[in-house]
Structure 1
Amino acid sequence: MKSFQFLTLPIFLFTVLVSYSQNETKTTKSKEFKVEFEQFSLDNGLHVILHIDRSDPVVAVALTSHVGSAREKAGRTGFAHLFEHLLFLESENLGKGGLDKMSARIGGSGANGSTSRDRTNYFQTVPKDALEKMIWAEADKLGYFINTVTDPVLAKEKQVVKNEKRQSYDNRPYGNNFAVINKNLYPENHPYHWEVIGSLEDLQNASLQDVKDFYNRWYIPNNVTLTIAGDFDVKQAKAWVQKYFGEIKRGEAIPKMEKQPVTLTETKKFYFEDNFARLPQLTLTWPSVYEYHPDSYALEVLASYLSKGKKAPLYKALVEDKKLTDEVELSQYNSEIAGQYILNVVAFDKTELNTVMTGINEAFKNFENQGISQQDLDRIKAGQETAFYNGLSSVLGKGFQLAQYEIFAGTPDFINQDVKNILAVTKEDVMRVYKKYIKDKHFIATSFVPKGEANLALEGSTLAKIVEEKIIEGKEESFDASIAATYAKTASSFDRSIEPIYGASPEVVLPTVWKEKSPSGLTVLGIENHEVPLVQFQMQIKGGLLLENPAKIGVSNMLAQLLTKGTKNRTPEQLENAIESLGATINAFATDESILITGNTLAKNYNETMKLVQEIVLEPRWDTIEFDLIKQSTLSQVIQQKADPNSIARNEFKKLVYGKESILMNNRIGTENSINSITIDDLKTYYNQNISPSVTNFQIVGAISRAQVNSSLATLNKNWKPKEVTIPTTKIADAPANSKIYFYDVPGAKQSVIRIGYSALAATDSDFYPADIMNYRLGGGSFASQLTQELREGKGYTYGIGSSFIGSNNKGPFTIYSGVRSNVTYESVRLIKEIVEQYGKNFNENDLNVTKGYLIKSNAREFETMASKLNMLYEISNYNFPVDYAKQRENTVKNIAIDDIKALSDKYLNANKMIYLIVGDAETQLQKLEQIGFGIPVLLNKTENNN
């Protein structure tokens, strides 16, 4: 992906699932649900799909090219993904910075893209007044781009993609697993033999002519689909599409790629000692079917039944009976010409994977003997119905869905056949595909085990061949990304350098919020919205880590998990089945300051879902077997985090920022010692003392009225007795008087994870939002930020970097975060320090205009999704914000001046009073950091390399 956000967008598109209703006799009836659309093609072959949705004043525009890694050649891999990056940088008329710069000005969601084996897409949601600008920009990328790519541009973007590979594959546990699988599942001449991101060697060897040849072959109108979804005028949109795309020349015809299923003639087993793994992982992969193959529907049901939930044969064998793991994953990865079926198990510490394999075989035998019941088939389909509507909850989701069918099924109309295929799945189909694709069939087995623990690998495994990069000081290719490209502009019938003007400004209407305070003390906030027949809610019980005994850290985390493992009158399995039969999800988890119970359900099943929530809250089961499983699972998480550089950085930074006197300095899941000391009685004590409506907020959004919500909570309010709960204040460390560098050694790390910051502001502080405004151009504005422009776009040091203020009712940290190539650790830290030091001094009128333009215009899409509306209610209920706080913030943005930004920068961005944490390879990087000027770095851990 081009995006570097740490909470990333999904790479692969939605699969539309069935919508159906269940009557009292358990028979299944289809219920038609259509996404209306219009489609047409230009003379040059560009296919266009239009969908109207006037629920919000926004439009999503997606450009999808039918090219992914499968269209590459051996020795020239990674081109499709490299292109995804390049197309954002510049085009002839957009200029340097391309769509990223424009996105900041127009209030877009951020230009983004993703690459798969078979397609590359580019997408963004914008206020509806910017639609013509987006069509102009997307056309410029497609038809007027390639001249802007120069050798320096290519050299810089190679470094960015390499950093993405290090971050996503080479510097994380099990990151190379799928490279081993695909290399051995698919023969060398198969298009899926290599990874989407390609090899580092191929990327480095790519020439400018290679890039141009790839572009001219695949980035042509007759290989592209343009999707526009949202609130717009169809006639006008068609005219704009014709104007801006119409004269781009058609390319050579693209032959259809034939299906290429694979067959294994033997089972192949491989192992690898993973530098970043602390737990053994076993993955089994079978050849499977292509996207929308008739058997793919039954295979989807099979995967769900075998692995998900208490009834699942794999769960029963591996989790409940043998206690080898806390989770089993089984899924199909179907692509255009072939597919694979993947079973993955991360086992507990020191577990021999042969025992896992034995458990898998036992589970399969049990399934063969028992099969799947009609009740379980119906239960799985109920979940598919909710998933279907979730996929339609944004205009971008609708646009993606239509493009998916057009490209891989030949027409958006395939939605009707897709539904029929899902409904047609029978119990017999599920057993048939199991026997056809899994039972006694050959597979690829990969055992990724911790360093020095090859004895845990599956018996008969051979060492996997993985090419590990050697990062050498001063050996990276140099470039100057500031050199402007010189070229003759591509001819056009009109002046494309003139950016279209805005349309009529959209009227931003804030959602109507209602609020109730019940006699029990429960506070309820809601937004009624009927765009899709769904309801989402969250019950926030304040406390979390703040209410824990410092000697027993992890209690609230374990309690949250145990709450959904059965109730007084329902076993864990019965509760799970009751939830799933409604097509609902109910989850519980702990944060530093709360326990949250969240739900997602069809509106028609909301009341029944809430009855189950009431049981969970008022009638916990206290299942000791489940408690033991949760305890073991949590211990495994702690062990695994010790080897993951990003987890290490998060946990160590908390300690440094919050300080030893604050309970918030702890990793809320606990330590090995604290978890081992926790008993189920500790959870009961926390529950009896702290779970009370008096400290609970209930936030709800969806196709449900205020009266219906109040009615659904009546019994809960009556039976949930309030207690006196005092949320303690916690002392949080001040910013350091002088900066200091801390280093955590991860020998052999390909990247250094950087965290820089200090304890700054609470969300309720009057300066919090102004400081957030100030931070936009520093690191909060993605590609509009100076940190990204300097470290990624200018130097190629990183795949992504950002900065943020995070706070609650307690003071939270200001943080700069990134992962950089190991051998530029010192250079990156030095550059970050310089940028922070100069930020306020250099802040100018253009910076202010970009900041204001984005923050004001982005309000049009601020509350489009149900999740964003739910977050609005969260902020209102927790921080006592007024219901129109978004409008008030807009006024703050309008009135802020350059001098205000400079004053805020002086107050909150002192580079000499921050904590600098580096997680990386101490042997090569530690000593150089002394040159930053903050003294000798403090080594936080001892390893063989630094003893």
Structure 2
Amino acid sequence: MKSKSILLVLVLLLTSLSSQAQSKPDVKNDFNVSFEEYNLANGLRVILHVDKSDPVVAVALTCHVGSAREIPGRTGFAHLFEHLLFLESENLGKGGLDKMSAQIGGSGANGSTSRDRTNYFQTVPNDALEKMIWAEADKLGFFINTVTDPVLAKEKQVVKNEKRQSSDNRPYGHNFAVIDKNLYPANHPYNWEVIGSLEDLQSATLDDVKNFYSKWYVPNNVVLTIAGDFDPKQTKIWVEKYFGEIKRGNDIPKIAKQEVILPETKKYYYEDNFANLPQLTIAWPSVYEYHPDSYALEVLADYLARGKKAPLYQSLVENKKITDEVSLYQYNSEIAGQYMLTVRAFENTDLNLVLEGIEEGFAKFEKEGISQQDLDRIKAKQETIFYSGLSSALGKGFQLAQYVIYTGSPSYINQDIKNIQGVTTEDVMRVYQKYIKGKNFVASSFVPKGQANLILKNSVLADIVEEKIIDGNEETFDASIAANYSKTPSAFDRSKEPPYGKDPVVKTPDVWKQKLSSGLQVYGIENNEVPLVLFQTQIKGSLLLENNDKIGVSNLLASLMMKGTKNKTTQELENAIEILGATIYINATDDAIVISGFSLAKNYEKTIQLVEEMITQPRWDKTEFDLIKESILSQIKQQKADPNSIAENQFRKLVYGQNSKLSNALIGTEETVSTITIDDLKSFYTQNFSPSATNFQIVGAVSMKKVLESLAHLNKNWADKKVIVPTPIIAEKPGASVVYFYDVPGAKQSVLRIGAIAMAAADADYHLANVMNYRFGGGKFASQLMQQLRDNKGYVYHIDSSFDGTAYKGPFLINGSVRSNITFEAVQLIKTILEDYGKNFNTNDLEITQSNLIKSNARAFETLEAKINMLNEICNYNFPNDYVKKQEMETKNVTVSDIKKLSEKYLNANQMIYLVVGDAETQLQKLEQLGFGKPVLLNPKQ
């Protein structure tokens, strides 16, 4: 992926829901999504879908090439290409796409790579559609001449950093490599990982890159999807203009299905440097994506592992009490698939006991099967996921392109829901018998260092190559050297950026507010575009109300509130929620316990009745409490070995100060959680749950009248009490910078947290400080941190900065991970950027910042989630209803001088906490050269 992460479209349940979901789909009826499909003469497949709900348009370019089209010894090319295509093209120039994205207010050009396809996408205000079509065409037909050996060398470092971050420097990061290498034969294209090996990446040559591009990046192997608010007639003219003259490539044969037959069961183990808990993964050969049996297998996975009734949950969690969660899912791709079962067990658990529990769960299923009622419940959930995945313009665009790649036609979208609905109880048992029962599998036992006694019997050591940390071990390069080439001929001047279209019309949502007689504050936005309601209830206090020796009570309480009510067991509550097609979550934050969720508008009242029951009538189930407590203790144990968790917890202590309640991790510590009893939860609930300390926020297809009616019973029956939430003590920013180091021996990356206390979200400087931060580290690829540390040096995969104020003062924070052997160089460069940012900020920087932040308002209210975030700020920070417009005016009126002053105030390199979590043996000593004195080692060896 190009950015830190990609939100998976099919689980964006907090955005909006297709109007098709107003009534339950009938398998006998056709389900239709309107689209237009046509081909250019050069073979480019074009899909257009018009959605007028918001003034935005999503453009996606999907190339039918992933890691499956690579060859051994040259793995990782498809993913490397995903990176390269963002860097430069003939007519946009170096970094041109990111510069344009920043100026037009887009969501940020992004991409992802799988085994079978690579896609590039962005959502932009609809006045920038022609610009996006121009830019995407330049990727496809006018790119390869710009790639040079230095550019390739630099991007290799970026991709290798991504691999270290996603695999080599985190717990269980090598697990998929072990599974795939042994599940698939050596000649199978799924035998290697999408990201490839460090060795293969390093050995890639410029000729390799050019040959890969000329074979796969051709119009007849690409799908262009445009979805949103646009004029189809004009769009077709633009598509023909910019894509039409790109030459067709050689015909590409369809890749054959290559399902796997595993001749024997294979068991492997690995002692993981970053794992504190044993984990067992079992993988069975399965079916390709959209295989007729994949639908029943999906139901089987849900029934076996998810929820209180699930046989595997009952066996492993409730009966044996050796884990808190079971994960079972399909990982299906174009030509084959695998069925993945993962159990992360509690500390010191023998994984052979886990396997016994799995077998017991299977035996229970074989005996009892699945009922029609449970099948219907699971189907209802699958339908909701299906429709929500098609709710946004980008979601529909993605899905239509995926159907082309995997089935050959976007019209499969109308068959997919029928197949979901068509599964029978007999199908579920049949696929279990066919693919799971008694079948050979690959098992991996990942255990902490020195705990090989916990692995499955007869396991052999997995073949994993560990990278050694060697200073100066990476090749040097100068990525600024311009490529020397003749431009690809075109019938018109492609170097001229197309103009903007008509300005998008953006309307700020209307907000209503009510304070009920109980003291409950209610905030709402009525929006009838889709029949969905999104809500959240915040009960203030949480960590801020905890006793110092009972830190973690709020987190435990939030989890226990999900486990039934006075009149419903956990299983009954789960069923009641799922039957409504709703979702309800309860979680703790630093200053609130939050009950959030969504439902179909027609089921809103019944969903809120369940929320009320969960708030006012907890079940206080001792068995569930014990399970949750054990689970949290295991999470705490695992966090101690995870460099990212270590960095987060240590930075809280350093930035807030030891005397601050906010210095504590919300989850608690082993010492505090061990002492917490269910009576402590009851006491906290009794003393601190009150309507006058609570707000309710709601957006969607429901009127204020109906919302207030739905809350009337809660308002009448929830007794109010006075709750005073204390203002936390927060340390001042340091008078002089200090470097802190936390040693994780053998770390392949150093995790960086650099920052200092700044301000609260309601502070007068807060909005403009975020404006100031855009070009420093908040603007993704338009930021200096990304441009200098990634684009120029190849030091990082991702790095950013932010102001994290809430109702209380929060820190300015720089957050990233760098390869271990350049830790000092990276921190030194960050220090230099801090020192120079304000001094060098100029008119061009301001124009780029203003253009992005103002134009991006076209996307500001696109989703229900965006609207509820708006309510959250109005509610918690006392912002006016039109604060977005007021902030837009502040952005328009800010000057270069204003930015310089803010930079001086908040980006002082000499008043920062510099925290490094990495390998002390090789990296600690050099950091003294920063000039901030000898680094403080936070965990010296005893």
Instruction: Give the TM-score band, short-chain normalised.
Output: over 0.9
Q: Which moved more, 1:527-536 or 1:801-810?
A: 527-536
What is the CA-CA distance between 1:533 and the residue it aligns to? 2.2
Q: Is residue 829 of structure 2 the alignment partner of residue 831 of structure 1?
A: yes
What is the CA-CA distance between 1:10 and the residue it aligns to? 2.9
Q: Pick from 496, 520, 527: which aligns with 1:498? A: 496
Q: Pick from 289, 292, 295: which aligns with 1:291? A: 289
Residue in 2 aligned with 1:615?
A: 613
Aligned partner of residue 410 in structure 2, secondary structure: coil
What is the CA-CA distance between 1:928 and the residue it aligns to? 0.3
CA distance in 2, matches of 1:216, 1:98: 22
CA contact (8 A) 1:584 1:602 kept: yes
Residue in 2 aligned with 1:162?
A: 160
CA contact (8 A) 2:831 2:909 kept: yes
Residue in 2 aligned with 1:225?
A: 223
Residue in 1 aligned with 2:656?
A: 658
After superposition, what is the alpha-carbon deviation per residue over 1:567-598, rounded to whole angstroms, capped at 9, x for unaligned?
A: 00111111111111112111100000110011
Alignment of structure 1 residues 109-258 onto 2, 5 Å? 109-258=107-256
CA distance in 1, matches of 2:566, 2:10: 40
CA distance in 1, matches of 2:328, 2:850: 47
After superposition, what is the alpha-carbon deviation per residue over 1:843-902, rounded to whole angstroms, capped at 9, x for unaligned?
A: 001100000010000000011111111111111111111111111110000000000000
Q: Pick from 521, 524, 537: which aligns with 1:523? A: 521
CA distance in 2, matches of 1:116, 1:528: 39
CA distance in 1, matches of 2:766, 2:451: 49
What is the CA-CA distance between 1:422 and the residue it aligns to? 1.2
Q: Is residue 432 of structure 2 the alignment partner of residue 434 of structure 1?
A: yes
What is the CA-CA distance between 1:28 and the residue it aligns to? 6.7
CA distance in 1, matches of 2:601, 2:29: 15
Q: Pick from 924, 927, 940: which aligns with 1:926? A: 924
Q: Which amino acid aligns with 2:627?
A: L
Residue in 2 aligned with 1:102?
A: 100
CA distance in 2, matches of 1:306, 1:98: 49
CA contact (8 A) 1:389 1:534 kept: no
CA distance in 1, matches of 2:201, 2:760: 45
Q: Which moved more, 1:575-584 or 1:112-121?
A: 575-584
CA contact (8 A) 2:742 2:917 kept: yes
CA contact (8 A) 1:389 1:533 kept: no
CA contact (8 A) 2:585 2:595 kept: yes
Q: Pick from 298, 307, 310: which aligns with 2:308? A: 310
What is the CA-CA distance between 1:29 and the residue it aligns to? 6.3
Q: Which amino acid aligns with 2:444?
A: T
Residue in 2 aligned with 1:385?
A: 383
Residue in 2 aligned with 1:3?
A: 3
Q: How many equivalent pairs are there? A: 939
Residue in 2 aligned with 1:87?
A: 85
CA contact (8 A) 1:18 1:381 kept: no
Residue in 1 aligned with 2:363?
A: 365
CA distance in 2, matches of 1:416, 1:632: 45
Residue in 1 aligned with 2:553?
A: 555
Residue in 1 aligned with 2:862?
A: 864
Q: Pick from 342, 365, 375: which aligns with 2:373? A: 375
Residue in 2 aligned with 1:851?
A: 849
Aligned partner of residue 501 in structure 2, secondary structure: coil
Aligned partner of residue 373 in structure 2, secondary structure: helix
CA contact (8 A) 1:20 1:29 kept: no
Residue in 2 aligned with 1:45?
A: 43
After superposition, what is the alpha-carbon deviation per residue over 1:107-140, rounded to whole angstroms, capped at 9, x for unaligned?
A: 0000000000000000100000000000000000
Q: Which amino acid aligns with 1:3?
A: S
Q: Which moved more, 1:600-609 or 1:66-75?
A: 600-609
Residue in 2 aligned with 1:469?
A: 467
- Does the C-alpha gap of structure 1 residues 225 and 830 become closer, same or farther in structure 2, counting only changes over 3 Å? same
Aligned partner of residue 758 in structure 2, secondary structure: strand
Q: Which amino acid aligns with 1:602?
A: L
CA distance in 2, matches of 1:875, 1:147: 48
Aligned partner of residue 298 in structure 1, secondary structure: helix
After superposition, what is the alpha-carbon deviation per residue over 1:900-937, rounded to whole angstroms, capped at 9, x for unaligned?
A: 00010111111000000000000000000000000000
Q: Is residue 387 of structure 2 the alignment partner of residue 356 of structure 1?
A: no
Residue in 2 aligned with 1:753?
A: 751
CA contact (8 A) 1:520 1:718 kept: yes
Q: Pick from 859, 880, 883: which aligns with 1:882? A: 880
What is the CA-CA distance between 1:471 and the residue it aligns to? 2.3
Aligned partner of residue 61 in structure 1, secondary structure: strand
What is the CA-CA distance between 1:398 and the residue it aligns to? 1.5
CA contact (8 A) 1:20 1:28 kept: no
User: TM-score, length-normalised on structure 2?
Assistant: 0.98
Q: Which moved more, 1:312-321 or 1:593-602?
A: 593-602
CA distance in 1, matches of 2:26, 2:567: 28
CA distance in 2, matches of 1:932, 1:686: 46
What is the CA-CA distance between 1:14 and the residue it aligns to? 9.2
Q: Pick from 265, 268, 271: which aligns with 1:270? A: 268
Aligned partner of residue 413 in structure 2, secondary structure: helix
CA contact (8 A) 2:27 2:422 kept: no
- Does the C-alpha gap of structure 1 residues 713 and 644 become closer, same or farther in structure 2, counting only changes over 3 Å? same
Q: Which amino acid aligns with 2:236?
A: K
Q: Which amino acid aligns with 1:561?
A: S
CA contact (8 A) 1:17 1:387 kept: no
CA distance in 2, matches of 1:768, 1:759: 13
CA contact (8 A) 1:59 1:128 kept: yes
After superposition, what is the alpha-carbon deviation per residue over 1:162-208, rounded to whole angstroms, capped at 9, x for unaligned?
A: 00000000000000000000000000100000000001100000000
CA distance in 1, matches of 2:341, 2:648: 30
Q: Which amino acid aligns with 1:594?
A: A
Residue in 1 aligned with 2:771?
A: 773
Aligned partner of residue 413 in structure 1, secondary structure: helix
Instruction: Indicate the percent of aligned positions where both proteins have the same amino acid.
Output: 70
- Does the C-alpha gap of structure 1 residues 208 and 535 become closer, same or farther in structure 2, counting only changes over 3 Å? same
CA distance in 2, matches of 1:841, 1:656: 28
What is the CA-CA distance between 1:389 and the residue it aligns to? 2.9
Q: Which amino acid aligns with 1:516?
A: Q
Q: Which amino acid aligns with 2:607?
A: T
Residue in 1 aligned with 2:602?
A: 604
Which ranges in structure 2 are unaligned for 5 or more consecutive residues? none
Q: Pick from 889, 893, 896: which aligns with 2:894? A: 896
Residue in 2 aligned with 1:914?
A: 912
Q: Which amino acid aligns with 2:2?
A: K
CA contact (8 A) 2:116 2:334 kept: yes
Q: Is residue 61 of structure 2 the alignment partner of residue 63 of structure 1?
A: yes
After superposition, what is the alpha-carbon deviation per residue over 1:306-328, rounded to whole angstroms, capped at 9, x for unaligned?
A: 00000000000000111010000
Aligned partner of residue 95 in structure 1, secondary structure: coil
What is the CA-CA distance between 1:536 and the residue it aligns to? 1.3
What is the CA-CA distance between 1:468 and the residue it aligns to? 1.0
Q: Is residue 679 of structure 2 the alignment partner of residue 685 of structure 1?
A: no
- Does the C-alpha gap of structure 1 residues 385 and 535 become closer, same or farther in structure 2, counting only changes over 3 Å? farther
CA distance in 2, matches of 1:537, 1:280: 38
After superposition, what is the alpha-carbon deviation per residue over 1:207-233, rounded to whole angstroms, capped at 9, x for unaligned?
A: 000000000000000000011111111
Q: Which amino acid aligns with 1:202?
A: D
Alignment of structure 1 residues 501-650 onto 2, 5 Å? 501-650=499-648
What is the CA-CA distance between 1:92 and the residue it aligns to? 0.1
Q: Which moved more, 1:656-665 or 1:9-18?
A: 9-18
CA contact (8 A) 2:270 2:461 kept: yes
> Once superposed, what is the RMSD of the aligned Cα atoms?
1.5
User: TM-score, length-normalised on structure 1?
Assistant: 0.98
Residue in 2 aligned with 1:873?
A: 871
CA distance in 1, matches of 2:323, 2:704: 43
Aligned partner of residue 233 in structure 2, secondary structure: helix
After superposition, what is the alpha-carbon deviation per residue over 1:451-492, rounded to whole angstroms, capped at 9, x for unaligned?
A: 000000111100000011112101210000111111100000
Aligned partner of residue 597 in structure 2, secondary structure: strand
CA distance in 2, matches of 1:699, 1:315: 34
Residue in 1 aligned with 2:810?
A: 812
CA distance in 2, matches of 1:767, 1:17: 40
Aligned partner of residue 96 in structure 1, secondary structure: coil
Aligned partner of residue 656 in structure 1, secondary structure: helix
